[in-house]
Amino acid sequence: MYYFVPSYYQKTGKWRGNSWVWYANRSMREFDDIVSQIKMFRAAEKEVTLVVSCYIPDLRYYLHRQGLSGIRIYSLFDQIQGVFSYAPGLLMWEDLDWPEDMEWVYTQFLIMGYQDGVHVVNIEFGPESYLLWIDRFEQKEKVCRQIYDDRGFLSSEIIYRDGREVEQIFYNTYGRKTCTYDLVQGTVLVKGRDGLKKYEKMEDLVRECIERYFLEQKKKCGSSGVLVLSASTFHNRLFLEGSGDIVTILSCYSERNTEQTDIYQIKMAIQGEYKKTPALVLVDTKELKEKIVENERFIKIEEISPFDTRLKLGSSQRIRAKKIFLPIQGLNNQREIIKIIAQYMEKNLDAELVIAFSEPGWGRQEKIEEEIKKLLEELDITSFSLETKNSPIVENAQQDEEKVVPARVKVVRYLTEQDVIQHLEDIRLLVDLRDSPELYLQIAAISSGIPQVNLSQTRYVRHLKNGFLLGSIDELFDTLCYYLDGLSNWNQALVHAVEDIRLYTGGSLVKKIETLLRK
């Protein structure tokens, strides 16, 4: 059995997972090394359990978004709350008991409730429109947040005083209080068979649950399991000291382990500062490996680049259009870059440009479209136009068809990983010329076999293998020709992606990891 421990924590230090209202700007992507590795081990038909050590009541929706539905789960907070087996059910906000005189206002983002003209309730929803939480107000002050489990019951309440969180009360599926967390003092009261038990801090309760769980697993399965621990300052010590003698792999991820405290704790773990030293360390980049390992003779370390198997490999060559994906948020020299791409498009009638941005906000897309339209006019582009809601449909033009200018440029917004997956489905080339190319876009492009063009050295892109590193913007036109004039060079990038993904999905990397653990 492989036990995977993810790092889903908020930075509040209150042992909460990342739950978002549907309209939030999620700058941090959900996909990470642990998601990638779980899929890799499942593809190799290994038994896998996800051990979740933070409070995340919408966990099942998260797993569904990542393609991990049906995975075996052990949740520490389910244990704390006394939720041992509960059939998921759909809970609608209308099913709750509401006063008859409640008046509802439906806004673009949430539902607001009023009594006698006074605002008393906000109802918030998650990305898949499920009930996430309900905020209650008294005299314009928030006094309580009721958080609902995605299995259909009230999971906890956060109590506010003077605008501050002071207490969190956890419930079981019957609505009975099982645990009270003092958010000011940090103490925890848990109701058990022998009455109330007090813990000085939540970390002590989490440690006890970890020790109990792995002791029970050892009795059931012996010492044959492997713990794959995502490196995190929240739980490194807890799991390395509380999981017993189970063989442990420490997984480090460059997007998560960015702070000096992360690197310091990883080094402590490698150097044996805790009760148990990892038998193997996994990293996603050479750069991270160099930061954490000073002497490889004392530690076994393996570099594994993550892949996202939700993307389809190499589907863009089946269509005639050669679509170029250009993220512009934070992009310098936008005018010059779009001008070069436009020059290529004028000579290649099958080329199309998808301009992408990830900023939230109403009206933002229309503003960008107006800027792009103005730029195309300034560049005197006449052979193609910008696609908008009012663009004419060329196929339906009945008269003067030759005068209809095809719309070969469009603007799209991506806020979630699912948006990225959808937009990249038929893209032929990713051109990310920002100073810091977006990590998940790189992973998604590699996972779907799309070559990418960068101006800065990146973690995952290998020059002339799965992408192209420009020396300057002046090389962009020739690079577009290199990948889009025919399929030969494009196919080479696809071959490299296929080889990497075959290692990932075919079980070779899993066998290699198991061999390293046996040495």
Band (pLDDT 50/70/90 cuts) for residue 84 is confident
The candidate with the shortest Cα–Cα distance to 341, out of 478, 486, 452, is 478
Is the predicted pLDDT of residue 458 greater than 90, yes or no?
no
Q: Is residue 514 part of a domain?
A: no
Same domain, 323 and 386: yes
**Within this chain, do residues 197 and 211 fall inside the same structural domain, yes or no?**
no
Q: Which phi and psi (to 5°) does residue 413 adopt?
A: -110, 140
pLDDT surpassing 80 at residue 491: yes
- Flag whether pLDDT at 396 surpasses 80: no
Residues 268 and 320 both lie in one domain = no
How do residues 85-136 score in pLDDT, each as one tens digit?
766 778 999 999 999 999 999 998 999 999 999 999 999 999 889 999 999 9
Report if residue 409 sits inside a domain: yes
How confident is the prediction for the chain on average, in pLDDT? 90
Q: What is the pLDDT of residues 53-76, one digit of tens each?
A: 999 999 999 999 898 999 999 999
Residue 494 DSSP SS3: helix
Region 185-214: what's the mean pLDDT? 94
Q: Please tell me the pTM assigned to this model.
A: 0.85
Residue 519 lies in a domain: no
Tell me: pLDDT of 397 over 50: no
Query: What share of the chain has pLDDT > 90, as a percent?
Result: 65
The DSSP code sequence of 389-437 is TT---GGG--SSGGGPPPEEEEEEE--SHHHHHHHGGG-SEEEE-SSS-
432 and 477, same domain (yes or no): yes
In a domain, 14, yes or no: yes
Here the CATH number for the domain that contains residue 100 is 3.90.930
- Answer yes or no: is 507 within a domain: no
Say what the pLDDT of residue 45 is. Answer: 92
Closest among 203, 177, 216, 13 to 81, alpha carbons compared: 177
Residue 26 pLDDT level (bands cut at 50, 70, 90): low
Higher pLDDT, 168 or 390: 168
Residues 166-181, mean pLDDT to the nearest whole number: 96
- Statement: residue 295 has pLDDT above 90: no
**Any domain includes 309:** no
The answer to whether position 517 is within a domain reads no
The region of weakest confidence among 293-297, 371-375, 491-495 is: 293-297
* 116 and 157 both lie in a single domain: yes
369 shares its domain with 295: no
Helix (H) or strand (E) holding 380: none
Residue 394 predicted with pLDDT over 70? no
Check pLDDT > 90 for residue 461: no
Does 157 share its domain with 19?
A: no
Do 82 and 97 lie in a common domain?
no
Residue with tokens 């008269």: 399
Residue 32 CA: distances (Å) to CA of 254, 284, 458, 468: 10, 10, 17, 24
| Domains contained in the chain, number | 3
Q: Report the CATH number that the domain containing residue 259 is assigned in CATH.
A: 3.40.50
Residues 360/23, Cβ–Cβ less than 8 Å: yes
**184 and 223, same domain (yes or no):** no
Instruction: State whether 42 and 174 are in the same domain.
Output: no
Which token pair is 350? 């099958």
pLDDT at position 377 is: 93
CB 357 within 8 A of CB 329: yes
- Contact between residue 107 and residue 121 where contact means Cβ atoms under 8 Å apart: no
- 178: number of Cβ within 10 Å: 18
**pLDDT for the residue 363:** 81
Q: Which of 174-188, 279-293, 383-397, 400-414 has the highest mean pLDDT?
A: 174-188
* CA 51 – CA 4 distance, rounded (Å): 6
Same domain for 467 and 382, yes or no, is yes
Q: Which long-range contacts (CB under 8 A, 24 or more apart) does 288-295 make?
A: 288/252, 288/253, 288/254, 288/257, 291/263, 292/252, 292/263, 292/266, 292/267, 294/267
Domain end call among 202, 222, 239: 202
Domain boundary among 202, 226, 246: 202
Section 380-384 average pLDDT: 91
Q: How far apart are the first and last CA of the chain?
A: 19
Residue 145 lies in a domain: yes
pLDDT of 398 reads 46
Distances (CA, A) of 375 to 338, 476, 488: 9, 19, 33
- pLDDT value for 399: 43
- Does the pLDDT value for residue 338 go beyond 90? yes
Domain shared by 423 and 368, yes or no: yes
Domain of residue 337, residue span: 316-502
CATH number of 492's domain? 3.40.50.2000
